[in-house]
Structure 1
Amino acid sequence: MNRYCLALDLVDDPVLIAEYEHWHKTENAWPEIKKSIFDAGIAQMEIYRTGNRLFMIMDTYDSFNFETKAAMDAANPKVQEWEQLMWKYQLALPWAKEGEKWVLMEEIFNLV
């Protein structure tokens, strides 16, 4: 297993943040999106929010890699529809590369 932590901002608007959270509640999640996450080799995913900053934790199988996940997403019309919807709420971090949403975070401390 590997763990990745990523960050992203939301548009700083309480109404849009509430809508974003609505789409991420279990009862509103698109089953095709959950399937695409599991199919890519992600075993567990959590997203946390403080203000308009999001923090994602992904636990992945050894077979996971970001390039394969990106190719799978690009070939999946439902994932593309989801990503288009999410851009309404998401705001790339100022240091993100062109077209990059979630930015991989660097681990700077580990207690164990």
Structure 2
Amino acid sequence: MKKETTFNEIVRKVRKDTFGKGPERIHTTFVDNMAITKMWGNFTPTEKFIALTSEGKEMVHRARTQMVQGLYDQHVPDGMEELCGSKLQHLFTDIKVEDDFAISVFVFEKNIEQG
């Protein structure tokens, strides 16, 4: 299995286990010491309903960004560092609520592009 496919499955599982739904479509690109993951179709029906108001939109955004970053701060998902052959140092993540599109940039200690 390709490294990107395995990485996508790890990311999808974390989000599915946390929010009850993983992204419908996910694509990862490895560049230098980063894995850049784009995700479409992230929200549950409940999140979509909550996001109909501006307060709800902000709440969904905060949950989907801060919660995910907090999870990775507490525990790097099983298999991620082994797959990449490097230690995860930082995760930057954001989501555009209107488009149900998220992006995460995983920054590793050393170059992970090869392999």
The answer, yes or no, to whether TM exceeds 0.5 is: no
Q: Name the TM-score, length of structure 2 as normaliser.
A: 0.36
Q: Name the TM-score, length of structure 1 as normaliser.
A: 0.37
Choose between structure 1 and 2 for higher RCO, CA contacts under 8 A separated by at least 6 residues: 1
